[in-house]
Amino acid sequence: MADQEKSSLETSHIKPTVSITPDEYMKDRVVYKINLYDKLSKRQKFWYQLTSVSGVVGAASVPVLINLGVNTALPTFLSLAVTILVSLEKLYHFREHWRNYDGIAAFLRSEQLQFQTLAGVYTETCKPDDAFRLFVKRVEGGVKDERNDTIEMRTRENQ
């Protein structure tokens, strides 16, 4: 049984050790999170733009179709589609998620660059170990804040 636990720890993303090098942390956590948030941001941006543009075009088309005397089924269907699109945006908060994910990815890229160049809060007066601990603290704080924002957004009443 102990061998199975050891094997699963070795193959999982959780490392059974307390220490981690800056390079490991950068690759396994920071770069991974930057790529993940970039992907999520692009996905949310796509859905936001799709629902928004489709909703605007549909809403603008309804009165035109009515004035042209088109069968009332088409404007009615378009009105229904616009209502659904607006409701989906309100329910899933595509715009807010896009902005949050884009913001955290930019924050992580900035922290990564500042840490690697010992700029900003990671000035050269900082010892390397202290700079790394500060980097981890700031990165994990940013990830935690984004996660809390996302949970709050998903659970709050639609306004």
Confidence of residue 17 (pLDDT cuts 50, 70, 90): low
Contact 101, 92 (CB under 8 A): no
26: CB partners within 8 A, 6+ apart: 112
pLDDT over 60 at 32, yes or no: yes
The token pair that represents 5 in the structure block: 């636990």
Read off the pTM: 0.81
- What DSSP line would sit under the chain, residue for residue? -HHHHHHHHHHSSS-SSS---HHHHIIIIIIHHHHHHHHHHHHHHHHHHHHHHHHHHHHHHHHHHHHTT--THHHHHHHHHHHHHHHHHHHH-HHHHHHHHHHHHHHHHHHHHHHHHT-GGG-TTS-HHHHHHHHHHHHHHHHHHHHHHHHHHHHSPP-
Confidence of residue 154 (pLDDT cuts 50, 70, 90): confident
108: CB partners within 8 A, 6+ apart: 30, 33, 34, 37, 139, 142, 143
Confidence of residue 155 (pLDDT cuts 50, 70, 90): confident
Q: Which of 24-33, 55-64, 133-142, 149-158 has the lowest mean pLDDT?
A: 149-158
pLDDT, position 126: 76
In angstroms, what CA-CA distances link 3 with 7, 59, 71, 107? Answer: 6, 62, 71, 40
Contact 48, 89 (CB under 8 A): yes
